[in-house]
Structure 1
Amino acid sequence: MIVVTGATGNIGRRLVDRLLAEGAAVRALTRDPARAALPAEAEVVRADLNGADDLAPLLAGADALFLNLAAGGDGAAARLIDAAAKAGVRRIVLNSSMGVTDTPADETNFISRMHAALERAVRDSGLEWTFVRGANYATNTLAWAPSIRESGVVRDAHPGARGVPVHEADLADVAAVALLDRTGAHLGRAYLVTGPEPMTVAEQVAEIGRAIGRETRVERISEDEAVEAMSGPHLPKEAARELVRMFGGTVDAPPFALSDAVERVTGHPARTFAQWAREHAADFS
Structure 2
Amino acid sequence: MTTLVTGARGAVATALIGLLRERDTPVRAASSAPADPSVVRCDLRDPSTFATALAGVTSVFLYAEPAHADEFAATAAAAGVEHIVLLSSSAVLTPDPDASPLAKSHADAERALTSSPVRSTLLRPGTFCGNAMAWSWPIKAGTPVSLPYPGAHVDAVHEADVAAVAAAVLADPALGGRPYTVTGPQSLTFTDQLDLLSRATGRDIAVKHVTREEWKAEMAQYMDGPTGDALLDYWESCDGRPAELTPVVAELTGRPARTFASWAEENRAAFL
Q: Is the structural similarity TM-score above 0.5?
A: yes
| Deviations 1:106-161 (CA, angstroms, capped at 9, x unpaired) | 33421222212211111001211111110100001111111110015211111111
AA at the equivalent of 2:84? I
Cα distance in 1 for partners of 2:179, 2:221 equals 31
Post-superposition offset of 1:232 = 4.7
Match 1:242 to one of 230, 234, 250: 230
Report the residue type matching 1:106 in the other structure.
P
Could you tell me which residue of structure 1 aligns to residue 7 of structure 2? 6
Q: 2:72 aligns with which of 68, 75, 80?
A: 80
Residue 32 (structure 1) shift:
4.2
**2:202 aligned with 1:213:** yes
Say whether 1:106 aligns with 2:101.
no
Q: Deviations over 1:156-206 (max 9, x none)?
A: 11111111100010000000111121xx32122211111110000111111
Tell whether the 8 Å contact from 1:65 to 1:92 is kept in structure 2 after alignment.
Answer: yes
Given that 1:6 and 1:30 are in contact with CA atoms closer than 8 Å, whether structure 2 keeps it comes out as: yes
Task: Flag the 1:2–1:229 CA change in 2: closer, same or farther, 3 A.
Answer: farther
Question: How many angstroms does 1:76 deviate by?
Answer: 4.5
* 2:209 maps to amino acid: R
1:52 Cα shift? 6.1
Task: Name the SS of the counterpart of 1:278 in structure 2.
Answer: helix
Equivalent positions of 1:220-259 (< 5 A) are 220-232=209-221, 235-253=223-241, 255-259=242-246
Q: After superposition, give the CA deviation of every residue in 1:247-276 in whole Å (9 maximum; x if it has no partner).
A: 1111043x3221110000010100000000
1:23 aligns with 2:24: yes
* Distance apart, 1:34 and its partner CA: 3.3
Contact 2:152 2:238 in 1 (8 A): yes
Please give the TM-score of this superposition, normalised by the length of structure 1.
Answer: 0.89
Q: Report what 1:139 is aligned to.
A: 130
Hey, what does 2:151 align to over in structure 1?
Answer: 160
User: CA separation in 2, counterparts of 1:250 and 1:240?
Assistant: 15
Which one-letter code corresponds to 1:225 in the other structure?
E
CA gap 1:35/1:44 in 2 versus in 1, 3 angstroms: closer
Distance across 1 between alignment mates of 2:99 and 2:135: 26
Q: Which runs of no fewer than 5 residues in structure 1 stay unpaired?
A: 37-42
8 A contact 2:139–2:271 mirrored in 1:
yes
Deviations 1:43-79 (A, max 9, x none): 521333334634111100000110112xxx3214444
Instruction: Report the more deviating stretch, 50-59 or 168-177.
Output: 50-59
Report deviation, 1:23: 1.1
User: What count of residue pairs does the alignment treat as equivalent?
Assistant: 271
Any gaps of 5 or more consecutive residues in structure 2?
A: none
CA distance 1:231–1:22, change in 2 (3 Å): farther
Q: RMSD of the alignment, in Å?
A: 1.9
Alignment partner, residue 90 of structure 1: 82
Counterpart code for 1:198: S
